[in-house]
Amino acid sequence: MLLSNRLPEVHVRQKAFHRIGFAAMLVVLILETYGYSQAPAPADKAFAPARLGDGQPDLQGVYTRTGVKALEAEPPDNPIDPSGKNPLSVSNRGDGLGPYPGVFGQVGTVLRGTGQRAQRRTGIVDPPDRKLPWKPEEDAKRRQFLLQMNPPIDLRHVELNARCALPGPFEGEDNANPYTILQKPGEVAILYDYNHTSRVIHLDRKEHLGANIRLFMGDSIGHWEGNTLVVDTTNFNGRIAYSRELPYLTDALHLTERFTVADENTIDYEVTIDDSKLFTKPWKVAGYFSRSPAGTESLEFACAEGTQTLQNIFGVPPAR
Amino acid sequence: MSAQAPTIKRTPDGKPDLNGVWQVLNTAAWDIQDHGGQLGIPPGQGVVEGNEIPYLPAAAAKKQQNFANRAVADPEAQCFMPGVPRATYMPYPFEIVQSKGTMAIRYEYGHAVRVIYMDGSKHPEGLPSTWMGDSRGRWEGDTLVVDVKNFNDQTWFDRAGNHHSDALHVIERYTLSSPDHIQYEATIEDPKVFSRPWKMAMPIYRRVEKNVKLLEYECVFYLQEEKYKNAPFK
């Protein structure tokens, strides 16, 4: 069975590790020890997050995401990297570079709050058997599409991330480059280190953009229900992937995401993926965000500026 | 010292509230100095103080060379991240996200982003150089001052070939001069390229349209669609 972790060489980078130093290491160590030595705690219903001036629960900080990019039951082979050694894969350049910089070293450290002692939900949670409710003909098309991705028969069959385009909400990274969440009145902004992506969730709008405006990141409108930020996203452009095994979602995609502040260091995440052109009914994925140690900073992730992937695959385009 | 309009919005901690979507209305993206019109190039008065850029001799020659080769040599032609301050005056809007300890600027062009740390921290040492620089901000009265360093030598200031080295140091000043205007200044230091620091300045306008939202200008994606539409080539 293939692992869903597509970029094992990319890790969370801690620019400010020298500034945290031993004290933070100790804190992490204590939390880890505590976490593993205690019985699971009940769910953190009582957790009361700090509030911002406009009343929003404060979920700002730097986090690493876990569990969102998950495999369905009976997945097709990972088309790009079945052996982990595919020279066409952007992840496997001989020099270790490619568009994904591997220069920052160590596996990211995350803080684990009290809630981490409870089992967190990850991966496809609905349906429970992880069999996605594909329309049979669409699943067949998808599997055919995957077979034409390596080598790609044309530009349309190049995985989106290899093109350094905005990745959509899912194709940021799990257990790797972190996410910075900022809030201001009327808005929550999520900055992915991955390919300097960002999305904003508007809290002060009621209507989505016009139907002719189509976006990689979609148009997100949110509201708070207690400690949960509920986000409705439409206006997708039909080009984004969920994962390597699910290489496209359509412009009918409609997401409902729930970000729940579970404890001081954890945001639980659940997304309902409704794409009526591909599936007979919506399905759900869960995951969580774990706060990174104080001092963890965002680093620039240049992608388009260095990549030679398309030229390597297709040859040199004729001069224009 | 500054005579601020009393009507500007402030954040709960009393700082000027720069949140919003902003855009310049000038022609600095084409040429930061005075220039006449040409086909596809709007004429414009420059944004450089005194209109003179104090290039060292070799750097002045490189500027001329860049200008001659600009159609292919301009990093914008490759859709690369534009650097600072060029990102500010590209003809696309940007959004300031102002939170207490950290700010961010999201640029519509090429989804470039800067995170600006406001916690008094210094520029980290020993990191690889970057396209958008490392930004550390502070408040001087009602002016947001952002110190930007750790650039590579790959970005330009405009489509006319004005350039810098990896020794570039930019000091930006954002002053909310009215509820809907930022007076923007950028001081440019680069001893490898310029004989002295120099400055550019311009107003930035709030996009006051109701429900204005930053969209996506995915330059790289569009360029690939054009270049590789008939791929494979071999």
pLDDT in tens, A212-228: 999 999 999 999 999 99
Q: For the segment A42-93, what is each residue's pLDDT rounded down to a tens digit?
A: 454 578 999 998 999 999 999 999 999 888 998 887 766 655 555 555 454 4
A154–B contact, CB cutoff 8 A? yes
- Closest partner residue to A297 (CB to CB) among B19, B117, B216 is B117
**CB-CB under 8 Å, B229 with A155:** yes
**What pLDDT, in 10s, does the model give residues A194-214?**
999 999 999 999 999 999 999
Task: Name every chain A residue with its beta carbon within 8 A of the beta carbon of B104.
Answer: 180, 182, 189, 191, 198
Q: Which of A166, A305, A316 sits opposite B131 (nearest CB)?
A: A305
Q: How many CA atoms lie within 13 A of A124 on its CB side?
A: 20
Preferred mutation among B109, B216, B234 to probe A, highest tally of A CBs within 10 A: B216
How many residue pairs bridge chain A and chain B with CB atoms within 8 Å of each other?
A: 122
Q: Enumerate the H helices of A60-210 as residue ranges.
A: 136-147
Beta carbons of B128 and A103 less than 8 angstroms apart: yes
CA–centroid distance for B212 within its chain: 21
What are the tokens at B169?
Answer: 């140091």
Residues of B in contact with A216 (CB under 8 A): 216, 218
Say if the Cβ atoms of A196 and B111 lie within 8 Å. Answer: yes
Q: How many residues does chain B have?
A: 234
Cβ of residue A182 closer than 8 Å to a chain B Cβ: yes
Name the more confident of A252 and A118: A252
Rounded to the nearest integer, the mean pLDDT of chain A is 80
Give the pLDDT score at B184: 98
- Dist. CA B25–CA B231, nearest whole Å: 39
Total of domains in chain B: 1
- CA-nearest residue of chain B to A16? B124
Over residues B160-183, mean pLDDT: 98
User: Is B8 a member of any domain?
Assistant: no
* Omega cis (within 30) before B128: no
Q: For B31-67, what is each residue's pLDDT tens digit?
A: 999 999 999 999 999 999 999 999 999 999 999 999 9
pLDDT attached to residue B107: 98
DSSP for chain B, please give it. Answer: -----TT--B-TTS-B---EEEE--SSTTT-SS-B--BTTB--B---BGGG---B-HHHHHHHHHHHHTHHHHSGGGGT----TTGGGGSSS-EEEEE-SSEEEEEESBTT-EEEEE-SSPPPPSSPPPBSS-EEEEEEETTEEEEEEE-B-S--BSSTT--B--TT-EEEEEEEEEETTEEEEEEEEE-TTTBSS-EEEEEEEEE--STT-----B-HHHHHHHHHTTT----
Give the ipTM of the model, two decimals please.
0.94
Classified as helix, coil or strand, A135 is coil
- Please tell me the predicted confidence (pLDDT) of residue B2: 53
Q: Are A137 and A145 in contact (CB under 8 A)?
A: no
Would the pTM count as exceeding 0.90? Answer: no
Interface check for A164 against chain B (CB to CB < 8 A): the answer is yes
Position A319 scores a pLDDT of: 82
**Residue range of the domain that includes B154:** 20-34+41-227
Residue A244: predicted pLDDT: 86
A174 pLDDT above the threshold of 60: yes
Q: Is A206 on the interface with B (CB under 8 A)?
A: no
Place of tokens 């194709």: A171
Inter-residue contact A79 to A149 (CB < 8 Å) = yes
**Distance from A19 to chain B by nearest Cα, in Å?**
10
Q: What pLDDT is stored for residue A104 in this prediction? A: 38
Torsion sign, CA atoms B140, B86, B24, B115: negative
| Partner-chain residue, chosen from B117, B231, B234, that has the shortest CB–CB distance to A155 | B231
**Cβ(A65)–Cβ(A289) below 8 Å:** yes
pLDDT digits (tens, 9 = 90+) for A132-147: 999 999 999 999 999 8
Nearest to A165 among B102, B154, B220 (CB): B220
Provide the pLDDT confidence category of residue A177 given band limits of 50, 70 and 90: confident
User: So what's the pLDDT on residue B169?
Assistant: 98
Q: Please state the φ and ψ torsions of residue A114, each to the nearest 5 degrees.
A: -60, -35
Residue A96 has pLDDT above 80, yes or no: no
Straight-line distance from the first to the last Cα atom of chain A, in angstroms, rounded to the nearest whole number? 45
Residue B96 distance to chain A (closest CA, Å): 10
Parallel, antiparallel, or unpaired: how do β-strands B134-140 and B113-117 relate?
parallel
Q: Which residues of A touch B103 (CB under 8 A)?
A: 182
The domain spans of chain A are: 17-309
Q: How far apart are CA B88 and CA B93, in angstroms?
A: 8
Which A residues in the span 87-106 are in contact with B, Cβ-Cβ below 8 Å? Answer: 101, 103
Residue B132 lies in a domain: yes
CB contact under 8 A, A305 and B81: yes
- Between residues A84 and B126, the one the model is more confident about: B126
- What's the pLDDT at A95? 47
